[in-house]
Amino acid sequence: MNNAALAVSRYEQEYQQKLSTAEEVAATVKSGDHLCFPICAGEPTLFVKALAARKHELERVVVNQQHHLCPDYLTEESTPHIRVNSWFTSHVSRKAVQNGWADFVPNYFHEVPKLLREYWPVDIAGTVVSPMDEHGFFTCSLSVAYTMEAVKKANRVVVQVNPNAPRTHGNCHIHISDVDFIIETNDPIVELAIPPITPIEEAIGGYIAELIEDGSTLQLGIGGIPNAVCKALLKKRDLGIHTEMITDGMVDLMFSGAVNNSKKNLLPGKTLGTFALGTKRLYEFMNENPMIEMHPVDFTNNPYNIGQNDKVVAINATIEVDLLGQCCSESLGHVQWSGTGGQADFVRGANISRGGKSFITTAATAKNGTVSSIVPTLKPGAAVTTNKNDVDYVVTEFGVAKLRGQTARQRALNLINIAHPDFREELTAEARRMNRI
């Protein structure tokens, strides 16, 4: 047997020795332990469910995570046993955070690995991985973000091996020697359906697409507006992608040839992301695709790394914008809805970039047209996600308001001009009352 075959045999033997059930792994969790799970599709749900099943045997267990999938311990009666720190509040954790059953951790996405490193112990890190290769390596697949930092810091590492998890390239590999427990599953990877694009989203996407030049490097978020932008960019040329989230719309851009990453200064030729969520088509496209690299979020979302590329275009959504340009994208007044995520990271990266542009998008109204999304002042307690000094463009279905480099008076006038017509008179009166115009 040659050396390569011996190594494979050794790794396979080690794999079998570490193979466990989810229940066996959950039984190793002790009261007071701190656990860390990845974002979205990286959550090892079998382990999480097994842990939740024995929560009454535990006290003061802490879980650090963004975008939870399993709600089993995000309940009021769970709080003495398993307390969750939500680093970005999603539909699964939102009720728990709003009711005080879970805690919210304010953060910039690119700083999460550093915050974990400096402030939070990690007794156990768990993650979904692709199957082990002949060299003994798994990949973090769809969720790299802060996973690598958690694995590095953890006393014990749990991997949930799933053959449906695409094998990805980049800085996202975990070696069998760093793993303590292996759980196997063949469950389908969580998918995010592609919703139809609404007329409002199509209008906003069209405005943005007109301002995107050939050779731009894109960051696109989630939802109908980014999907509309992707659709409108299919005939552009030499686009690049440096983003946090890889989505289905990006697959269309790469297939069409609109994205080839040839003009990027940082990792030219590569589509760069830190996590992915979409359909099975996206996951199959990512599998063993050398055009796509997944890296930790302190690399992808570092504003200075983003800004190394020319013509960076960042597209993100908000809830409300005041007449000075402050954008609240994560709360309804004082009530936490989501989190800062990577919005501030990419807005600042676009500002650093030569020829960069950032777009904050919102429908002009909410609650069936009864509430304006452009307001004189933010609601009391509202979190400022993108501040007045960083904001560049704001876009609604009624047009584009340029704010960066503009006076407070110009900002107010530009924003009123893209507000819903039903609210422009009221906004004008309030602007005058505040001496904005």
The active-site residue, picked from 149, 244, 293, 330, is 244
244 is known as an active-site residue:
yes
CA 145, 393, 372 angle in degrees (round to 5)? 100
Phi, psi at 421, each rounded to 5°? -55, -30
The set of residues, in sequence order, having a beta carbon less than 8 Å from that of 389 and lying 6+ positions away, is: none
- CA distances 162 to 91, 127, 130, 137, 199, Å, are 25, 10, 6, 14, 39
The set of residues, in sequence order, having a beta carbon less than 8 Å from that of 80 and lying 6+ positions away, is: 59, 60
Phi, psi at 297, each rounded to 5°? -70, -25
Tokens representing residue 264 in the block = 């990027």
CA dihedral 205, 197, 369, 377 (to 10 degrees): -40
Task: State the number of CA atoms in the 13 A half-sphere of 165 facing the CB.
Answer: 29
- Which residue matches tokens 């800004």? 307
Rounded Cα distance, 152 and 122, in Å: 9
Active-site annotation, residues: 244
